[in-house]
Amino acid sequence: MSENVKCRGEVDDFLVYLADIKRYSPHTIDNYRRDLKTLELHFRSKGMQDWNSLKATEVRHYVASAHGKGLAGRSIARQLSALRSFFNYRLKHELSRHNPARDIRAPKDAKALPVTLDPEEISRLLDQDADSPLMLRDLAMFELFYSSGLRLAELTGLDTDHIDLREGMLRVTGKGRKTRDLPIGTKAREALKRWYEVRGQWLQGEEKAVFLSQRGKRLSPRTIQDRLKKLAASSGLMRNCHPHMLRHSFASHMLESSCDLRAVQELLGHADISTTQIYTHLDFQHLASVYENAHPRARKKPGDENDQD
């Protein structure tokens, strides 16, 4: 039996184990099969005789090479996970004495910048006529979302006793069951007052949720997502709007206006300021765009793109 056939047989045995003993889904098993085949082909091309000859240094070299060729960190992490699981299986069945992927981690991908709406788009979204209780509710809901930079779970969990319209404040419970007090903007307060005037039409029993369905129940996150898409469509926004985009927009606009990172961190309820710092990249992008469009020595002239050194 050739070493190549032997390797394939060992991988096949592992995949059978995942299916019959671990009860993994066919989709997951296909991912393991594909990743282990990719790794096997690579390591064989580098001289691997069998799986027991694979060393940690060779796995590290593969990670560096794959990352250098542009493979995403998430994809490399998945491959390493498959390799670790395969060698854990081999250790359990006394087929190997070490796991060459045990302490190796994939490089982290750069964080994608949050997608936001600009102030003009926010105005188009929220400055719509409210001609029904449904529209009054939706406008109040998303005004508050943007006004206070809420998370979706914080919005769905709001009860009427969490809001003090007279003081213009609300209290939310965020991640880690931590509470924070937040201001409510003028437009959001006005929208909430209009919603409260008709909320009783849908109220059933003693439901405390601020935002009700037409059946008098607390709104689900999915319903809120759907209502925002409908509101965006009715405003003519050609964007795939989702609730967290309003939170991102709040953070970006607050930071752009105040430049107070600590204050924005407190408003968002971030435990670590490094989480908030991603919005500084958005602010820098905006400033860079203004600079390129305004500075006489930064603007490109026609034909500049064709200039050669």
67 labelled catalytic: no
Looking at domain 119-293, which CATH architecture does it have?
Orthogonal Bundle (1.10)
What contacts 63, CB < 8 A, 6 or more positions away? 76, 80, 104, 106, 107
Domain residues of the chain, as ranges?
A: 3-92, 119-293
Position 278 scores a pLDDT of 73
111 labelled catalytic: no
Average pLDDT, 10 consecutive residues per value, the chain (309 residues): 56 94 92 95 92 95 92 93 96 94 87 81 94 96 94 93 94 86 93 96 93 95 96 91 91 83 84 73 50 50 46
Q: Give the C-alpha separation, 135 to 230, whole Å.
A: 11
Residues 179/271, Cβ–Cβ less than 8 Å: no
Catalytic residue among 6, 22, 46, 175: 175
SS3 of 164, please?
A: strand
Catalytic residue among 151, 171, 194, 242: 151
291 labelled catalytic: no
Catalytic residue among 137, 227, 247, 248: 247
69 labelled catalytic: no
**Pairing mode, if any, of strands 169-173 and 163-164?**
antiparallel
pTM here is 0.59
Position 131 scores a pLDDT of 87
42 labelled catalytic: no
CATH number of 3-92: 1.10.150
Position 251 scores a pLDDT of 87
Q: Which of 148, 150, 130, 243 is nearest to 191 (CA)?
A: 130
248 labelled catalytic: no
Catalytic residue among 33, 44, 60, 270: 270
